[in-house]
Chains A and B, each alone.
Chain A
Amino acid sequence: MSRDGLTAWLLGAPAVACIIVLFIVPIGYVLLLSVTDPTVSLDHYRRFFTVPLYANVMVNTFRTSLIVTVACLALGYPLAYVMARRNDVVAVVFVAAVGLSFWTGFVVRTYAWLVILGNKGPVAATYALAGWGAPPQLLFTSFSSTLGMTHVLLPYMVLALYGVMRKIDPSYMRAAESLGARPFGAFRLVYLPLSLPGVVNGCVLVFTMCLGFYITPILLGTPKDMMISQLISQQIEDLLAWGFASAIAVVLLACTLILLGLYNRFAGLDRLWG
């Protein structure tokens, strides 16, 4: 090994050792538990892949993650676009709004939705004021869980888009318009393609985070339409089935790694958090 290589690995050694001993080994425990608790067998995996209830959980998890990702993209794109294109007080206010929600914890923001959608919350009060009678059951449904996750994950989408959009040279749009493109044409033919790497980054980030999301589905969702994390939580808290919960966790980990592996193949993983 070259001298540079040796120095680099020596500098990285403490961090790598920490991650191997204090992270990869614990994950190994999950793998081990999934095939040894209570007995050595692959029964947990067989059960997970054959019982229809669990297939439903998987389908529901992927469907919800897809909806949340599309919703985050639809909401995040215009916000990131304006943040990247303007250089005035409006842009600063938007950056502050995104920063505020990014750094406020998931639990706090999920709690806000409990208040808003609750049966004594502002939505119910509006219904009463308008004389529409009792509002529909909003809380503890897949609607509230999806809405909450979209709100919680939106800043990640905006920041991923903003990171790419900020580097797009504004003169490209001016050039397109001066050559006769209408504003929307210039956007569609020039800006949109240049911003696509940000779209991909944001979608991969939000989708993978959503797959294993724990806090919001558990606080806002319903056991009728469970996501993977709710199933894991139920197995541990209600049934103390650590082995089966570990097997589900391994499946979740595998799904995440496959998705990020595909991304790595086509884009290179180091760009995801750039």
Chain B
Amino acid sequence: MGIGAMARHIPLVLASLVAIFLVAPMAVIVPMSFSKAISFEFPPPGYWTGYYEQYFSSHSWLEATANSFIIAFGAMALTLLVALPAAFGFVRYRFYGKSALNLVMMLPIIVPAVVSALGYYSFLSPLRLVGTHAGMIVAHSVLSIPVAFLVIAAALKGFDLNLERAAMSAGAGPLRTFLWVTLPVLRPGILVGALFAFLHSFNEAVVAIFIAGRDASTLPKRMFESIRLESDPVIAVVSTLLTGAVLIGVLISLFFRQRPSHAA
């Protein structure tokens, strides 16, 4: 192989190393979760599934898991309710103050999470909403608006308006057109927006650390505190389960994305 031919492979070699750097740390957690060691120890001195049993019988870990799902579902629903019409207004019309609207919609991801967290703590305390599911759902739904808005607006920009014109000219009213044409065509985009909002809440840690308290504690908050205070070996189990769930999700999404190109 000549030097030129070898040079052509440099980007691939570098990219592979970086990809390994991205994934390898998560791969280390998997054997840890089956380890008999009480503290972080690698390679593990022995293997068992004892910490999985501990997770599935621990009231506080299971409660944090349930809270994470409840709060992420609640936040996702509220986010969609306001982000969907906003994305329609933003993409479909030309109007004065469009960039101002965009800026306002993006604020929750512009402001650093610590700042939002301090704000929510001061804001929700007098309302007695710190440490409640309602407080967490409200905070997380606002924080998820930008991601849902971005995804749905992107889907709307790719929507062919001729589909609506065709439905209207065939005699369908605006509502029928929206329900039978617009919504079904946009469904994948809306579902992805919903998924992003859900995951944004599910993974959010900083605001949760400040306002979730004990009763509405989520998995990221519980893990953060566990790492700092007691280094409970169950953290490795939770991390493995979460990483596994994300891996399955990524593989499913790749499967669906690859199919059209195979068909073509």
Interface residues, chain A, CB within 8 Å of chain B? 1-2, 4-5, 7-12, 14-16, 18-20, 22-30, 33, 75-76, 78-79, 81-83, 85, 90, 92-101, 103-116, 118, 120-122, 125, 151, 154-155, 183-184, 208, 211-212, 214-215, 218-219, 228-229, 232-233, 242, 245-246, 249-250, 252-253, 256-257, 260, 269-270, 273
Contacts of B4 in A (CB 8 A): 183
Q: Are A100 and B95 in contact (CB under 8 A)?
A: no
> Which residues, 126 to 179 on B, are CB-close (under 8 Å) to A?
138-139, 141-142, 145-146, 149-150
Q: Are A112 and B22 in contact (CB under 8 A)?
A: no
Q: List 17 A-B contacts (CB under 8 A).
A: A4-B94, A15-B85, A30-B119, A81-B11, A85-B11, A100-B247, A100-B250, A108-B29, A108-B239, A112-B29, A115-B29, A118-B41, A121-B40, A121-B41, A249-B112, A256-B111, A257-B110
- B83 close to chain A: CB less than 8 A: yes
Contact of A14 among B85, B90, B254 (CB under 8 A): B85
Interface residues, chain B, CB within 8 Å of chain A? 4, 7-8, 11-12, 14-15, 18-19, 21-23, 25-26, 28-29, 32, 37, 39-43, 81-83, 85-86, 88-90, 92-99, 101-120, 122-124, 138-139, 141-142, 145-146, 149-150, 199, 202-203, 205-206, 209, 220, 223-224, 227-228, 235-236, 238-239, 242-243, 246-247, 249-251, 253-254, 258
Instruction: Name the residue on B nearest A101 (C-beta).
Output: B22
Contacts of B242 in A (CB 8 A): 104-105, 108
9 smallest A-B Cβ distances: which pairs? A212-B112, A11-B89, A26-B119, A5-B95, A112-B25, A26-B123, A82-B15, A105-B203, A78-B14
Q: Are A96 and B115 in contact (CB under 8 A)?
A: no
Contacts of B124 in A (CB 8 A): 26
Contact of A215 among B81, B101, B224 (CB under 8 A): B224
Contact of A229 among B15, B114, B205 (CB under 8 A): B114
Chain B proximity of A1: nearest CB distance (Å): 7
Q: Are B106 and A269 in contact (CB under 8 A)?
A: yes
